[in-house]
Amino acid sequence: DQTIYLKDYAPSPYLIERVELDVRFEESETRVRALLTILPNRDTEPGTPLVLDGDELTLDTIAIDGLPLVLSAYAATPDALTLMEPPHRRFVLETEVRLTPETNTRLMGLYRSNGVWCTQCEPEGFRRITYFLDRPDILSTYKVTMTADRALAPILLSNGNPSGGGDAGDGRHYAVWEDPFPKPAYLFALVAGDLAAIHDSFTTASGRKVALAIYCEHGKQEQCAYAMDALKRSMAWDERRFGLEYDLDVFNIVAVSDFNFGAMENKGLNIFNDKLVFARPETATDVDYAGIESVIAHEYFHNWTGNRITCRDWFQLCLKEGLTVYRDQEFTMDERSRPVARIEDVRKLRATQFPEDGGPLAHPARPDNYREINNFYTATVYEKGAEIVRMLATLLGEAGFRKGMDLYFERHDGDATTIEAFIAVFAEASGRDLSQFEQWYLQAGTPDLEVGETWDEATRRYSLSFRQRTRPTPGQPEKAPMVIPVRFGLVGPNGSDMGWSGVSGGRVESDLIVLEDGETTITFEGVASRPVPSLLRGFSAPVNLTSSLGQAEKLFLARHDADPFNRWQALQDVAMKLIIDAVDGAALSTADADAFTDALVETLGAEGLDDAFKAHALTLPAETDIARIIGKSVDPDAIHAARQSLIAAISERAGHALGEAYDARSADTPYSPGAAEAGRRALRNTVLGLLVRGGAPGAAARATTQYHEAGNMTDRLAALSSAVAAWTGDAQALLEDFRTHHTADPLVYDKWLAANAIAPHGGTLERLRAILADPDFPRNNPNRLRALVGSFANANPTQFGRADGAGFRFVTDFVADVDRRNPNVAARVLTAFRVWRTYEPGRREAAERALRGLAEAGGLSRNTADILARTLD
Ligand code: B3K
Ligand code: ZN
């Protein structure tokens, strides 16, 4: 067992102050010479061996202070370089290794994408480049010299500022980069290749001019304009909102086509999956534009939350990730619509984090052990991590939160630090005791929060009783009560919030109830009439709320709640109940269908709500969300059918209003990716989806027409997706048309792959097998693999969850195959099985058989073996 525990953390016995790298790129190998200035740490005993990490390295030469080492002084293996008795003083270790980036299909360390040399070092990739103390609490300044053939790699980039370069003879040239900010090795990056670029500049608040560039393959420059615009807006926002300025002379972004994740925040040299950079209306959807904006912002914001202040160890990952997601979410809210952004973030949280937190892969936002750190870049660390920071901001108020953030930067700039230190600055700045709050980082699982109410007409007294409970998660059988901030209002009969004259029984701070105990009853005195409570406004805590409110009261909130989030939530709740009742065999009553449809139609026509909000209001809970709420004996076909019949009822009743809403938003204005225009398209396409899936007369033809006439990818893909989801008579032909006319661009090919993968149709698996079997299928590109199999496993519940188990086997076979080349991609896809125990017995057995088959075949990477073991545990 190679489990690593937080409790075993100890400072490194040696530090590396400075790194000088000399990287020489050749046609089929790369040589890396490293000069590391090393010194013993404070309490290190003389004679303590120095163990540097490596991963698949071969040592060519080794010297200390210029003198070659005798064989007995060190031991070199592919994964470690040990100096038996290093000098007990500052010294320079010189090593040289040889790498073959061309054969690096894991895409960690130095690899080649489309001929371009590039790197991914987080979390433990730097050890695949040179022997090093590859841990985030080792901070060093870097000087990097790169030499390459000038024609092959006219562009040579690394972290920091450019500091020289020139001719190297023989058609070769070199460039030197210096990064003055001490950084951990995971933030190291280099890029060498023949790349095009767009250039711009940004002048910081204090007047420093920063040169900005986005590099990409030739011919794609125009597609980088939106990303550049998002970058400049991010830089301005961080100054405005947090007083944080950029700190180098240059900021470079490089788009590469083979990348395991979304993007990477390397100091001054962000490397991006190209799908999060390239955008033009014909190939990118509104969702793609929004994704680019938010990830550009996220990586930029890491410069302060992650780079200037980094993590002491990988257990602290959410110190930088949760906080930075919170920051990018706030950026999106400020740039677009706050309530719409909140709905989108919560939908994502529920779709990704809640199932994780409720299944075998549940872990605290700050885990205390891991076997493979790559498997902890999870929705819990990222999305729940952001929710925790959001709760902190809710509890402390805007000014209090900002005061804590200011103190964090003041105190910890230049540090590799911990969650405890982060909490401490907020406790200190606010004078509050945050020790119970800290449980949010330590305890896994989504709390269930049950609410009951009592109303006493005679005394005008209204009480809310809360009961919280967190179910056991792996390794944590007992759970403590959490601090739960519940933003709320007591909605009166006319739809506005009512006041009260007194309150007792718990902590209430204006519109915030702060729960601290397992059970709390709060009594409000002097309430004018029986209220409908609107609880957890803005989703003020990541919990599962259940209340005693009936459908009529929910529909009342849907119409009147002052909080738009809860208006949306109320509609979701009503739909959820109707669907779950149907899954349980109760036919949808006419009265229920009418009442729900009326509320939808009213929302659709309401003034003062933007189209993007309405689009969310008209989107029924996803099948996977319904499955999560049902929680056991899940039959995906029954869920699909129940949801489908509610859609049919809506489209039958509201066909006319929906058709009008569609037509009213059909004006063919030139495409702009802004929030208002995107909202208009989102609503129109949501309406189209309801009509097509609801089988409304003429709707299938409308989808086909929209597909052919669309002037942008958003509308074209939405039409295609509606047709595929309903498997209309034209669906197959539209898929073929899309393949023929639109997939020359690899990012659009991904959309075609995903469209195939999500068809809730019996022939889907066969189609996917054929696509994968094509010898031309790019089987090493993560984007292609995820578009096909990731979409299938995560977004096609009926076909992944086929009763005959063929969907499960398809995915485990895929994982076994891809794992040999790229463990990160394989392990990630496998996490789709986290729901396997919630299936009805037949599917549960089939899923388990597929998983056990994978385990028995053996030979899995540590990444995949870890996910598999925990999933089966
Ligand atoms: N920090 C990187 C993620 C790296 C993933 C390594 N498994 C991107 C980000 O979160 O900004
Ligand atoms: Zn991040």
**Ligand 2 geometric centre to CA of 317 (Å):** 9
Same-domain pairing of 527 and 559: no
Of ligand 1's listed atoms, the one at least distance from the Cα of 262 is: 8
Within 470-585, strands assigned E span 484-491, 502-504, 507-509, 512-515, 519-525, 532-535, 544-547
Which residue, by CA, sits nearest to atom 6 of ligand 1? 122
Q: Does residue 854 belong to any structural domain of this protein? A: yes
d(CA 383, CA 357): 11
- Pocket flag, ligand 1, residue 265 (CB < 6 Å): yes
The catalytic position among 299, 344, 387, 623 is 299
Q: For a substitution probing ligand 1, which of 122, 186, 381, 825 has the most ligand atoms within 8 Å of its CB?
A: 122
Q: Does residue 182 belong to any structural domain of this protein? A: yes
Q: Does residue 98 belong to any structural domain of this protein? A: yes
Q: Does residue 71 belong to any structural domain of this protein? A: yes
CB 397 within 8 A of CB 433: no
**Ligand 1 geometric centre to CA of 122 (Å):** 7
Same-domain pairing of 430 and 496: no
Of ligand 1's listed atoms, the one at least distance from the Cα of 306 is: 1
Confidence of residue 855 (pLDDT cuts 50, 70, 90): very high
> How many structural domains is the chain composed of?
4
CB 864 within 8 A of CB 827: yes
**Ligand 1 geometric centre to CA of 263 (Å):** 7
- Pocket flag, ligand 1, residue 809 (CB < 6 Å): no
Q: Kindly tell me if the per-residue pLDDT of 249 is higher than 90.
A: yes
- Pocket flag, ligand 1, residue 628 (CB < 6 Å): no
Same-domain pairing of 13 and 111: yes
Which ligand lies nearest the alpha carbon of 828? Answer: 1
Is 677 strand, coil or helix? helix
Residue with tokens 């939530």: 569
**Ligand 1 geometric centre to CA of 321 (Å):** 8
Q: Kindly tell me if the per-residue pLDDT of 1 is higher than 80.
A: no
**Ligand 2 geometric centre to CA of 306 (Å):** 8
- Pocket flag, ligand 1, residue 268 (CB < 6 Å): no
- Pocket flag, ligand 1, residue 238 (CB < 6 Å): no
**Ligand 2 geometric centre to CA of 669 (Å):** 36
Nearest one of 125, 136, 168 to 26, comparing CA atoms = 168
Q: What is the pLDDT of residues 269-288, one digit of tens each?
A: 999 999 999 999 999 999 99
Which ligand lies nearest the alpha carbon of 186? Answer: 1
- Pocket flag, ligand 1, residue 374 (CB < 6 Å): yes
Q: For a substitution probing ligand 1, which of 377, 380, 862 has the most ligand atoms within 8 Å of its CB?
A: 377
- Pocket flag, ligand 1, residue 298 (CB < 6 Å): yes
Of ligand 1's listed atoms, the one at least distance from the Cα of 302 is: 11
Q: Does residue 495 belong to any structural domain of this protein? A: yes
Under DSSP, the state recorded for 71 is: G
**Ligand 2 geometric centre to CA of 299 (Å):** 6
Give the pLDDT mean for 326-337: 98
Which ligand lies nearest the alpha carbon of 299? Answer: 1
Same-domain pairing of 829 and 722: yes
**Ligand 1 geometric centre to CA of 317 (Å):** 10
Which residue, by CA, sits nearest to atom 4 of ligand 1? 122
How does 586-605 read in b/e, with b if 16+ C-beta sit within 10 Å? eebeeebbebbbebbbebbe
Q: Does residue 131 belong to any structural domain of this protein? A: yes
Which ligand lies nearest the alpha carbon of 323? Answer: 2
Residue ending a domain, among 503, 533, 563, is 533
Average pLDDT, the chain: 98
| Structural domain containing residue 528 | 456-463+470-533
**Ligand 1 geometric centre to CA of 261 (Å):** 7
Same-domain pairing of 724 and 783: yes
Q: Kindly tell me if the per-residue pLDDT of 540 is higher than 80.
A: yes
Q: Does residue 366 belong to any structural domain of this protein? A: yes
Of ligand 1's listed atoms, the one at least distance from the Cα of 321 is: 10
With residue 24 as reference, give the H or E element that holds it: strand 14-25
- Pocket flag, ligand 1, residue 123 (CB < 6 Å): yes
- Pocket flag, ligand 1, residue 124 (CB < 6 Å): no
Residue ending a domain, among 168, 194, 220, is 194
**Ligand 1 geometric centre to CA of 264 (Å):** 5
- Pocket flag, ligand 1, residue 617 (CB < 6 Å): no
Same-domain pairing of 602 and 482: no
CB 371 within 8 A of CB 3: yes
Give the pLDDT mean for 820-836: 98
Q: For a substitution probing ligand 1, which of 265, 303, 375, 867 has the most ligand atoms within 8 Å of its CB?
A: 265
Residue 359 CB coordination number (10 Å): 20
- Pocket flag, ligand 1, residue 437 (CB < 6 Å): no
Of ligand 1's listed atoms, the one at least distance from the Cα of 824 is: 7
Same-domain pairing of 527 and 436: no
Which residue, by CA, sits nearest to atom 3 of ligand 1? 264
d(CA 609, CA 221): 37
Q: Does residue 503 belong to any structural domain of this protein? A: yes
Specify the pLDDT at position 555.
98
Which residue, by CA, sits nearest to atom 9 of ligand 1? 264
CATH number of the domain that 116 lies in?
2.60.40.1730
Q: What is the pLDDT of residues 611-637, one digit of tens each?
A: 999 999 999 999 999 999 999 999 999
Same-domain pairing of 622 and 695: yes
Using DSSP bridges, classify how beta strands 448-456 and 544-547 pair: parallel, antiparallel or unpaired: parallel
Specify the pLDDT at position 669.
83
**Ligand 2 geometric centre to CA of 382 (Å):** 8
- Pocket flag, ligand 1, residue 377 (CB < 6 Å): yes
Which ligand lies nearest the alpha carbon of 122? Answer: 1
What does each C-alpha distance from 329 to 407, 413, 416, 485, 699 come to in angstroms? 22, 23, 24, 19, 36
Specify the pLDDT at position 64.
98
Specify the pLDDT at position 780.
96
d(CA 346, CA 353): 10
d(CA 789, CA 21): 39
CB 228 within 8 A of CB 212: yes
Nearest one of 116, 94, 414, 110 to 267, comparing CA atoms = 414
- Pocket flag, ligand 1, residue 386 (CB < 6 Å): no
Same-domain pairing of 527 and 567: no
Which residue, by CA, sits nearest to atom 10 of ligand 1? 321
586-589 LR contacts (CB < 8 Å, sep 24+): 588/645, 588/646, 588/649
Confidence of residue 667 (pLDDT cuts 50, 70, 90): confident
Q: What is the pLDDT of residues 411-468, one digit of tens each?
A: 999 999 999 999 999 999 999 999 999 999 999 999 999 999 999 999 999 999 999 9
Same-domain pairing of 635 and 718: yes
Specify the pLDDT at position 668.
75
Which residue, by CA, sits nearest to atom 2 of ligand 1? 264
CATH number of the domain that 603 lies in?
1.25.50.10
Q: For a substitution probing ligand 1, which of 119, 234, 261, 271 has the most ligand atoms within 8 Å of its CB?
A: 261
- Pocket flag, ligand 1, residue 122 (CB < 6 Å): yes
Of ligand 1's listed atoms, the one at least distance from the Cα of 122 is: 6
With residue 557 as reference, give the H or E element that holds it: helix 551-560
CATH number of the domain that 369 lies in?
1.10.390.10
Same-domain pairing of 712 and 662: yes
**Ligand 2 geometric centre to CA of 796 (Å):** 27
**299 included as an active-site residue:** yes
Confidence of residue 71 (pLDDT cuts 50, 70, 90): very high
Of ligand 1's listed atoms, the one at least distance from the Cα of 263 is: 8
pTM: 0.98
Which ligand lies nearest the alpha carbon of 782? Answer: 1
Give the amino acid at 368. Answer: D
CB 811 within 8 A of CB 829: yes
Give the pLDDT mean for 723-743: 97
Tokens of 330: 């706030």
Give the pLDDT mean for 739-761: 97
Which ligand lies nearest the alpha carbon of 314? Answer: 1
Which residue, by CA, sits nearest to atom 7 of ligand 1? 374
d(CA 841, CA 858): 26
Same-domain pairing of 62 and 111: yes
- Pocket flag, ligand 1, residue 321 (CB < 6 Å): yes
d(CA 195, CA 155): 6
- Pocket flag, ligand 1, residue 828 (CB < 6 Å): no
Give the pLDDT mean for 317-327: 99
ipTM rounded to 2 decimals: 0.99
- Pocket flag, ligand 1, residue 320 (CB < 6 Å): no
